[in-house]
C-alpha cells in the first residue's frame, strides 16, 4: 500500500482547489424579497415631559407652546393668556416601522427626535402619541419612558457632549391598533423582487425553483422580477411553497464594477473586473518652501534701524515610479498586486483607475459615490 498518503494528499489538494474556484452560493431568501411583504413607515408628533430643565424654550418654540396648551385644555386645564416658562417639556417627532403581518395588540419599537431647541431628552417620558401611515390612518399609539444613548455636561467655561442626547428610543414603546390586510395564503401567484437586478441571477433562480418543484412554475420577467405560479401539489398553500423554495441555494451573478468614494478614499473592486494590457506610471511632485528670516543690525552710532531681512529657500523634488505593466485579462488579485507595486495611496489609485478607464482598458463600470 505504498504511495497511499501521497495519493490522499493529491486528492485533498484537488478537492481544495475545486472548492476555492467554485462560486459562493446564497439562499433565495437572501437574494430576493417577496412582493407585498414589506414594512410600512409610521410618523407622529408628540410631547416629552419630565425633563430636568433641558426641554424647549417655550418662547422660542411656538409649536411646543401650542401643543402644551392644547393638551392641557383637553385635560380640563385652561392656560390661555398665561405666561409659560417651563423648560421641562419638548416637542418631538416619533417614527417607527410597522412590520409585515403585524397583528393588533403587538408592540413595536419607536424613536423620538427633538424638534425644537431642547438640549437633552434624558429622563423624559413620551405622552400618548398616535402614529400615522402614508394614508393618514392611525396604525399605532406610542407612550413610555425614553432610553437615551448620549449625555451632555456643562460648566462655566467648558461643555462635553457624548452621543446624541436629543434622540431617544422606546423599546416596545408602541401598541399596534390597526392591521394591514394582506392575504398571502390566498394568492395563486406571487413575484420575487431581486435585491440586485441581474438577468443571469433571475434566470438561475427560476431554474433552481423549477428543478425543485419539477414543473415550470417560475418565470423571469425582467432582471429584477421572477414570477411564481402556485402548482396543484401544494393544495393552494402558497406559504408552504415559499417556505420550501426560499432555502434553495443559487449562485448570484454580478456585473464588473469599481465603486469609488472620493471623500473618504474608499475603493471597492469587484471580482469580475478585467483589464487590457496597459502600462502605468505614477509620480509625485513635492515643493518645499522654508522661511529663515535674518536680523540686519545698523552700524554703531549710525542713524540706521534694525530690520528683518527675509530669506526663503525653495526646493523641488520629483518622485517618480517606473512603469508597471498590467497584463491583459488578469484577476482581481493581480490587479491589486500590480497597482500596489507602484507604492501609491488610495487618492492616487483613484486617479489611476479613472485614467485606465478613460483609456478604455478596464472592462468594468466605475461608480462614483
pLDDT tens column, 14-38: 333 433 344 578 899 899 988 888 8
**Long-range Cβ pairs for the range 355-363 (8 Å, 24+):** 356/275, 356/278, 356/280, 357/258, 359/278, 360/276, 361/275, 361/276, 361/277, 361/278, 362/258, 362/273, 362/274, 362/275, 362/276, 363/256, 363/273, 363/274, 363/275, 363/276
Last-in-domain residue among 147, 176, 205: 176
Let me know whether 89 and 156 are in one domain. yes
Q: Which residues have CB under 8 Å from 331's CB, separation 6+?
A: none
Let me know whether 118 and 78 are in one domain. yes
Give every strand in the sheet of 365-368, ordered side by side.
Answer: 266-269, 257-261, 365-368
What is the rounded CA–CA span in Å between residue 273 and residue 257? 7
Let me know whether 167 and 213 are in one domain. no
281, 285, 286, 287 alpha-carbon torsion, rounded to 10°: 170
pLDDT value at position 152? 67
Q: Which helix (H) or strand (E) holds 225?
A: strand 225-229
Let me know whether 160 and 189 are in one domain. no
Q: Quote the domain boundaries for residue 153.
A: 40-176
pLDDT value at position 22? 46
Cα atoms in the 13 Å half-sphere on the side-chain side of 208 = 21
pLDDT value at position 320? 54
Confidence band, pLDDT 50/70/90 cuts, at residue 326: low
Let me know whether 323 and 340 are in one domain. yes
Let me know whether 44 and 69 are in one domain. yes
Q: Which helix (H) or strand (E) holds 96?
A: strand 89-98
pLDDT value at position 328? 59
Let me know whether 218 and 278 are in one domain. no
pLDDT value at position 19? 37
Let me know whether 133 and 64 are in one domain. yes
pLDDT value at position 333? 63
Let me know whether 162 and 203 are in one domain. no
- State how far the alpha carbon of 65 is from the alpha carbons of 120, 125, 229, 252, in Å: 18, 17, 57, 56
Confidence band, pLDDT 50/70/90 cuts, at residue 339: low
Which segment of 47-51, 202-206, 302-306 scores lowest on mean pLDDT?
Answer: 302-306
- Classify residue 22: in a domain, yes or no: no
Provide the number of structural domains found in the chain: 3
pTM of the model: 0.65
What is the rounded CA–CA span in Å between residue 242 and residue 249? 14
* Cβ contact 175:143 at 8 Å: no
pLDDT value at position 366? 82
Phi/psi class of residue 344: alpha, beta or left (left: φ > 0; alpha: ψ in -120 to 50)?
beta
Which segment of 4-8, 62-66, 140-144, 244-248 scores lowest on mean pLDDT?
Answer: 4-8
229, 235, 240, 244 alpha-carbon torsion, rounded to 10°: -70
- Classify residue 33: in a domain, yes or no: no
Q: What is the mean pLDDT of the chain?
A: 78
Residues of the chain with pLDDT > 70, as a percent, come to 74
pLDDT tens column, 97-142: 999 888 999 999 999 999 988 888 988 999 999 999 999 999 999 9
pLDDT value at position 285? 47
Let me know whether 46 and 154 are in one domain. yes
Which stretches of 164-220 are DSSP H helices? Answer: 199-213
Check whether 205 has a pLDDT greater than 80.
yes
pLDDT tens column, 243-299: 888 889 998 888 788 888 877 778 888 777 777 777 766 665 444 555 566 767 777
- Classify residue 84: in a domain, yes or no: yes
CA angle at 287 for the pair 283 and 292, rounded to the nearest 5°: 160
pLDDT value at position 317? 54
* Cβ contact 87:51 at 8 Å: yes
Let me know whether 345 and 262 are in one domain. yes
Let me know whether 167 and 44 are in one domain. yes
pLDDT value at position 126? 94
pLDDT value at position 116? 87
Check whether 186 has a pLDDT greater than 80.
no
Q: What CATH number is attached to the domain comprising 242?
A: 3.30.70
Higher-pLDDT residue of 180, 22:
180
Q: How far is CA 46 from the centre of its chain?
A: 28
pLDDT tens column, 343-363: 667 777 777 778 878 877 777
pLDDT value at position 139? 94
Q: Is the dihedral of CA 195, 199, 201, 205 positive or negative?
A: positive
Amino acid at each position: 500500500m505504498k504511495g497511499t498518503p501521497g495519493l490522499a494528499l493529491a486528492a485533498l489538494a484537488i478537492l481544495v482547489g475545486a472548492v476555492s474556484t467554485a462560486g459562493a452560493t446564497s439562499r433565495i431568501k437572501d437574494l430576493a424579497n417577496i412582493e407585498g411583504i414589506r414594512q410600512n413607515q409610521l410618523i407622529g408628533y408628540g410631547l416629552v415631559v419630565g425633563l430636568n430643565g433641558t426641554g424647549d424654550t417655550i418662547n422660542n418654540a411656538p409649536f411646543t407652546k401650542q401643543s402644551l396648551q392644547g393638551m392641557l385644555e383637553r385635560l380640563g386645564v385652561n392656560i390661555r393668556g398665561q405666561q409659560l416658562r417651563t423648560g421641562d417639556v419638548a416637542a418631538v417627532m416619533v417614527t417607527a416601522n410597522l412590520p409585515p403581518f403585524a397583528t393588533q395588540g403587538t408592540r413595536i419599537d419607536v424613536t423620538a427626535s427633538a424638534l425644537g431647541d431642547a438640549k437633552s431628552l434624558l429622563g423624559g417620558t413620551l405622552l400618548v402619541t398616535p402614529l400615522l401611515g402614508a394614508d393618514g390612518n392611525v396604525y399605532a399609539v406610542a407612550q413610555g419612558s425614553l432610553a437615551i444613548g448620549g449625555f451632555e455636561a456643562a460648566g462655566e467655561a467648558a461643555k462635553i457632549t457624548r452621543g446624541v442626547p436629543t434622540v431617544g428610543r422606546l423599546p416596545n414603546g408602541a401598541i399596534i391598533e390597526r392591521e394591514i390586510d394582506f392575504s398571502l395564503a390566498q394568492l395563486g401567484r406571487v413575484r420575487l423582487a431581486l435585491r440586485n437586478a441581474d438577468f443571469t441571477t433571475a434566470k438561475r433562480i427560476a431554474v433552481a425553483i423549477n428543478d425543485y418543484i419539477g414543473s415550470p412554475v417560475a418565470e423571469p420577467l425582467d432582471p429584477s422580477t421572477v414570477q411564481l405560479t402556485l402548482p396543484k401539489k401544494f393544495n393552494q398553500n402558497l406559504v408552504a411553497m415559499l417556505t420550501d423554495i426560499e432555502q434553495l441555494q443559487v449562485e448570484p451573478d454580478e456585473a464588473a464594477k469599481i465603486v469609488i468614494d472620493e471623500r473618504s478614499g474608499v475603493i471597492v473592486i469587484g471580482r469580475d473586473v478585467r483589464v487590457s494590457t496597459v502600462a502605468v506610471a505614477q509620480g509625485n511632485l513635492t515643493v518645499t518652501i522654508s522661511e529663515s528670516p535674518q536680523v540686519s543690525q545698523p552700524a554703531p552710532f549710525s542713524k540706521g534701524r534694525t530690520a528683518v531681512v527675509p530669506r526663503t529657500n525653495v526646493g523641488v523634488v520629483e518622485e517618480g515610479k517606473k512603469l508597471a505593466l498590467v497584463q491583459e485579462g488578469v484577476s482581481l488579485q493581480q490587479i491589486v498586486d500590480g497597482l500596489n507595486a507602484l507604492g501609491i495611496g488610495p487618492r492616487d489609485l483613484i486617479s489611476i483607475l479613472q485614467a485606465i478607464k478613460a483609456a478604455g482598458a478596464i472592462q468594468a463600470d466605475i461608480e462614483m459615490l
